[in-house]
Amino acid sequence: MGRRRACPRGCHAGERRQGTCAREGTVSGTTFWYLASPYSRYPGGIEEAFRLALRETGRLVSAGVPVFSPIAHTHPVAVECGLDPYSHDIWIPVDEPIMRAASGLIMLRAESWEQSYGMRLELEAFTAAGKPVVWMDVGTVPAELRRAP
């Protein structure tokens, strides 16, 4: 997969693998990851989808992964401010600048993710931008993002 390059910070070059800095747990140059997770069609409803996003965001943060979850951010805003939590007309424009700023996408393969309109749009945006996409199963930090022991 190409030659080994040093970490962008110039540290621990021997741990570099497939574009990933093993110690930092992020793809080179990534400032933060954007976590896509199911919401409006989640079988347990949007409150449970929100809690799922919180748990998986917390799992990533605990593993040292810099991550932003749009659901963790926007759901409480929608609830507190009486905004329609299902309206893509409201939330896609809010999420777009954050997607542009993020260096990579984490796709959470939780129940109903295949039916998620928002996740499909997020995947299309990151793919079109040529940004890395990492797949995550519930309860597991992706190997590409794990810190080396």
Give me the pLDDT at residue 146, please.
Answer: 84
Measure CA of the first residue to CA of the last residue in the chain; give whole Å.
Answer: 23
Spatial distance between the Cα atoms of 67 and 57, rounded to a whole number of angstroms: 7
Spatial distance between the Cα atoms of 101 and 1, rounded to a whole number of angstroms: 27
Residue 7: pLDDT band with limits 50, 70, 90: very low
Q: Given a cut of 60, is residue 25 above it in pLDDT?
A: no
pTM over 0.85? The answer is no
Task: Count Cβ atoms below 10 Å from residue 128 Cβ, excluding itself.
Answer: 8
Spatial distance between the Cα atoms of 63 and 79, rounded to a whole number of angstroms: 29
The ranges assigned to domains in the chain are 25-144
| Whether the Cβ atoms of residue 104 and residue 134 lie closer than 8 Å to each other | yes
| Whether the Cβ atoms of residue 122 and residue 134 lie closer than 8 Å to each other | no
Give me the pLDDT at residue 147, please.
Answer: 72
Determine the Cα angle at 83 with ends 77 and 86, to 5°. Answer: 100
Which tens digits make up the pLDDT trace of 120-144? 999 999 999 999 999 999 999 999 9
User: 25-144 adopts what CATH topology?
Assistant: Rossmann fold (3.40.50)
Higher pLDDT pick, 14 / 94: 94
Higher pLDDT pick, 94 / 11: 94
Q: Given a cut of 60, is residue 4 above it in pLDDT?
A: no
